[in-house]
Amino acid sequence: MADYDILGNIAIIKGEGKTNEEKLKQAEELLGKPSIKTVLERASNVKGRLRTIKTKFLAGTKNLIAMHKENNCVFKFNVETCYFSPRLSNERKLIAEKIRKTDKVLVMFAGVGAFPIVIYKYKKPKKIIGIEIGKDCCKYFNENLRLNKISPYDVEVIQGDVKKKVTKKLGKFEVIIMARPNLKETFLKYGLIASKKGTRIFYHGFCRKDELEELKGQLIEEAKKQKRKIEIEDIVPIGEIAPFKNRWRIEIKVLK
């Protein structure tokens, strides 16, 4: 795994185990790449409900606003107030490929709009709604719609907690994307409120490979508690998040 991330004009390096001299040398090397204007050090782990990080300035222009391109889309965001992982770029494309034009899509935990915008660009489904709790994320989500020339009627932004915003009134969706934060709570209950028979849920889970059966059991049990029935159709690894610990895409079909 590379020990840095590139977010368009900003590179963020991991500093653990490196001397100051080594960090500055790496920063100067990264500044040699044409797009990179700022190099920061990651000064904290991803934390809290907003899944944000703290950074320390290392070299280049002092700036926290990234302009990042992926999947023929552009994303603007503040690297300290918004979660954004360039490592999910391929996952966004793979999920977009699974969407049909006739689908109504709900993206829970939408961040700065990366999943909704990539899906809209590739497939132009009937409607996409993105729910995100972070106010700054929603500000950039709206700005990213403008930057990618997408109408707010096609992709709608709802700022708030999925626990409050996903109600029966929101309606039912053919597809629900739950690229969730790596927190204990599964949030599946809320995904099920917006599901009908046949809804497909793309759910991100975080665990070791030998813990997958337990996670599957937990999800099936949670559905049962809501008097619903789900089937797990596929489980796909989508990258290591720590030694031996993976992010998994769990593909769920709602049966009842």
Ligand X SMILES: C[S@@+](CC[C@H](N)C(=O)[O-])C[C@H]1O[C@@H](n2cnc3c(N)ncnc32)[C@H](O)[C@@H]1O
Contact of 10 with 86, CB cutoff 8 Å: no
Instruction: Supply the minimum distance, in Å, between the C-beta of residue 58 and ligand X.
Output: 24
Q: Rounded distance, CA 249 to CA 77, Å?
A: 25
Instruction: Supply the minimum distance, in Å, between the C-beta of residue 68 and ligand X.
Output: 11
Using the minimum distance from each CB to ligand X, give the nearer residue, 25 or 49: 49
Q: Rounded distance, CA 182 to CA 206, Å?
A: 6
Binding window for ligand X (CB under 6 A); candidates: 21-29, 33-41, 63-71, 108-116: 108-116
Per CB under 6 A, the list member of 27, 88, 96, 215 interacting with ligand X is 88
Residues 118-147 that bind ligand X (CB under 6 A): 131-134, 137
Per CB under 6 A, the list member of 103, 109, 138, 194 interacting with ligand X is 109
Per CB under 6 A, the list member of 8, 15, 181, 205 interacting with ligand X is 181
Binding window for ligand X (CB under 6 A); candidates: 30-38, 82-90, 168-176, 193-201: 82-90
147-181 burial string, b = 16+ CB within 10 Å, else e? bbebeeeebebbbeebeebbeeeeebbbbbbbbbb
- The contact pattern for ligand X, residues 33-62, with x = CB under 6 A and - = no contact, is ----------------xxx-----------
Per CB under 6 A, the list member of 27, 36, 40, 114 interacting with ligand X is 114
Q: What angle do helix axes 114-123 and 135-147 make, rounded to 10 degrees?
A: 20
Instruction: Supply the minimum distance, in Å, between the C-beta of residue 220 and ligand X.
Output: 22
* Residue 178 in the binding site for ligand X (CB under 6 A): no
Q: Rounded distance, CA 111 to CA 50, Å?
A: 9
Total number of residues shown for the chain: 256
Q: What are the strands, taking DSSP E only, across the chain?
A: 4-7, 10-14, 38-42, 55-60, 65-70, 73-78, 104-108, 127-132, 155-159, 173-178, 195-208, 230-242, 245-254
Binding site for ligand X (CB under 6 A): 49-51, 83-84, 88, 109-111, 114-115, 131-134, 137, 161-163, 179, 181
